Amino acid sequence: MQKNNLVEVQPEINAALESGGAVVALESTIISHGMPYPQNVQMANKVESIIREAGAVPATIAIMDGKIKVGLSKEELEILAKSKPVAKVSMRDLPGVIARKQLGATTVATTMYGAHLAGIRVFVTGGIGGVHRGYEETMDVSADLEELAQTDVVVVCAGAKAILDLPRTMEYLETKGVPVIGYRTDVLPAFFSARSEIKLVERADSADEIAQIVIAKSQLNMRGGVLVVNPIPEAYSLDHIYIDGIIEKAVAAARDKNVTGKEITPFLLSEITAQTGGKSLEANLQLVYNNALLGGQIAASLAAHAQG
Ligand code: PSU
Ligand code: MN
């Protein structure tokens, strides 16, 4: 990997990458804009320890001091979790936030980009952005999908929330040639709920099966990411009729209050947390932990194949 002066990789991560070890990238918008304090920082720390237990080194990514920082200290995680305002940095925002040396949290798109610059192949998150409901009017499609189309990183998520138009999101990924692999599922998980109505074409039952698909994609010289969709554990899965009702109300509230652009996703997330009395937050935490374990295993498996 070519060294880039605007990317600062923490020494432990650098050493792991240089020796072909397993590393897992993590995003920071989920910390700053996705969950309230202090649950957000507790989540960030626990995710890092789950990844270590799976045999990989965690690399949380954020924008600090005019650089893409790959790997944050406990103090830096705390700053990110507490500070207001932290910029939500998607691809469009990245050059400006770097140039102004603002504190910024990376979305799925910018985390993929930073991970790739650092040479990290696996990234764990909760949910990705996608095609928003009402796309016909607004043309609101998350830059996350564009990055999945062109950046070679495996993204492990719990599907996407029904705040998005899930069928259109899947169509977009198909158009862009992004494999979507269900981990032990034949249907797309819908974040809070383990199942949706949408059938998948690709399923894997082990981390190693996923690693082999990733390796085949890279040997084929295909650009772009692989999306692994991992259902929330049954015990924490929320009834989809219950949660869909709450999501409908949140989407209507966003419309009434004229919330637009990059504010929409954080607005909907905090509305949903408030309306479920914290139930959705607990589900959100559990699905991220579940993804961290799988992501750690995929990274370990990829590293083992690379060592031959
Ligand atoms: N979905 C979630 N939680 C999140 C996000 C999405 O369930 O925290 C965040 C992620 O960082 C994602 C971003 O990349 O929102 C998408 O924002 P936008 O739709 O503005 O691209
Ligand atoms: Mn958008």
pLDDT digits (tens, 9 = 90+) for 146-155: 999 999 999 9
Beta bridge partners of 225: none
Structure tokens at 42: 């507790």
Ligand 1 pocket test, pick from 107, 111, 165 with the greatest ligand atom count within 8 Å of Cβ, gives: 107
Q: In terms of Cα–Cα distance, which of 308, 211, 304 is closest to 21?
A: 304
User: Residue 67: what are its φ and ψ, rounded to 5°?
Assistant: -135, 155
CB 98 within 8 A of CB 6: yes
Distance between CA atoms of residues 223 and 152, nearest Å? 6
Structure tokens at 29: 């918008």
Ligand nearest to the CA of 266: 1
Residues with pLDDT less than 70, the chain:
1-2
Distance (angstroms) between ligand 2 centre and the Cα of 72 equals 27
Sign of CA dihedral 3, 72, 33, 133: positive
The predicted pLDDT at position 1 comes to 56
Alpha helices, DSSP H only, in the chain? 11-18, 29-32, 39-53, 74-82, 94-99, 108-118, 135-138, 143-150, 166-175, 207-219, 240-256, 264-275, 279-307
Up-side HSE of residue 202: CA atoms within 13 Å toward CB? 17
Q: Atom of ligand 1 at shortest distance to CA of 33?
A: 8
User: Residue 204: what are its φ and ψ, rounded to 5°?
Assistant: -135, 145
Ligand 1 neighbour 159 (Cβ under 6 A): no
3-state secondary structure of 67: strand
- Is the overall model pTM greater than 0.85, yes or no? yes
Domain 7-306: what homologous superfamily? Answer: Indigoidine synthase domain (3.40.1790.10)
Q: Which helix (H) or strand (E) holds 59?
A: strand 57-64
Ligand nearest to the CA of 88: 1
User: Residue 145: what are its φ and ψ, rounded to 5°?
Assistant: -70, -35
The predicted pLDDT at position 151 comes to 98
Ligand 1 neighbour 169 (Cβ under 6 A): no
